Structure 1
Amino acid sequence: MTTTLTYGPARALPGEQIAITTNPDTEPFWLAAKEHRLTACQCADCGHFRMPPSPYCPECQSTAKQWPTLPGTATVFSFAICTKNPKNGEDYVYVPVVVDLDGAPGARLNANVSGCDAEDVHIGMKVAVDWTDIKDGWVLPNFRKA
């Protein structure tokens, strides 16, 4: 006998509950997000992508960075289905994902997925960026089923 759980629609976490901090290595990512542009840190010398951004390229140790605009699509690498809001413990279905970013080989991003039922999310699912306003005027990239 197989039991299938039904969770219903996956939602992004409420933006007013999310705050970020930036540093010189991450600020270009967040500034691009404010413009609804998805980007990833790329070494300006060897071309290696890295997310999260870091001061040095793990491939060639260069400090030179560039931030190309990506297509805004990705593939789900991993996910979990959560049923409680982490801020207040209320019932709330959200699906945190790790996605492989199209146009940035090797770069992965943590986000949420929405626009579908939680039980429909699967590894290999194609998603497209969706923007969520968060605290202090920042914008968070999340994803919707493509």
Structure 2
Amino acid sequence: MGSRRRAPPRRASVHPVWAVSHAAQSLLLGATLYSFTVIRHGVIPDIRDVLPIIAGVADLDGTNVDGTGAARLVASVADAEPENVHIGQRLRIDWYDVRDGVAIPILRIAE
């Protein structure tokens, strides 16, 4: 089980639970690259054939509704060369099928 402690200590929400609208949100299709790192050295032998890997942190469109900051997604930036990736770049969210019934989000450079 995970810890319920927060560092630094703070309230879990600035809004009382009953004051927040829980309306369904539409599927997010876009994002902006907030940060990234390029992984060039494979510690695990199985990934050495797919290096370099670009691990990105993206601000998701439409999630900064109350001005406290956008929700972020950490995912691989697929089909991109490291020299063509930069902070502030527009991305789209796609899905990688791991196996039948299991998919993970990936990021692709928006065209």
Q: Can you give the 5+ residue segments of structure 1 that lack an aligned partner in the other structure?
A: 1-55
Call closer, same or farther: CA 1:57–1:139 in 2, change over 3 Å: farther
Bigger CA radius of gyration: 2
Amino acid at match of 2:15: C
RMSD, aligned α-carbons: 2.6
* Alpha-carbon separation, structure 1, partners of 2:41 and 2:26: 34
Q: 1:5-44 alignment to 2 at 5 Å?
A: none
- The yes-or-no answer on 1:93 pairing with 2:48 is no
CA separation in 1, counterparts of 2:29 and 2:43?
Answer: 27
Structure 1 position 132 matched with structure 2 position 96: yes
Choose between structure 1 and 2 for higher RCO, CA contacts under 8 A separated by at least 6 residues: 1
Aligned residues with identical type, % of pairs: 32
TM-score by structure 1 length?
0.53
Identify which of 66, 72, 94 aligns with 2:29.
72
Q: How many residues align?
A: 91
For 1:61 and 1:111, the matched residues in 2 are separated by: 31
Aligned equivalents of 1:113, 1:102: Cα separation in 2 = 17
- The alignment's TM-score, normalised by the length of structure 2, stands at 0.67
Structure 2: stretches of 5+ with no match in the other structure:
1-10, 65-69
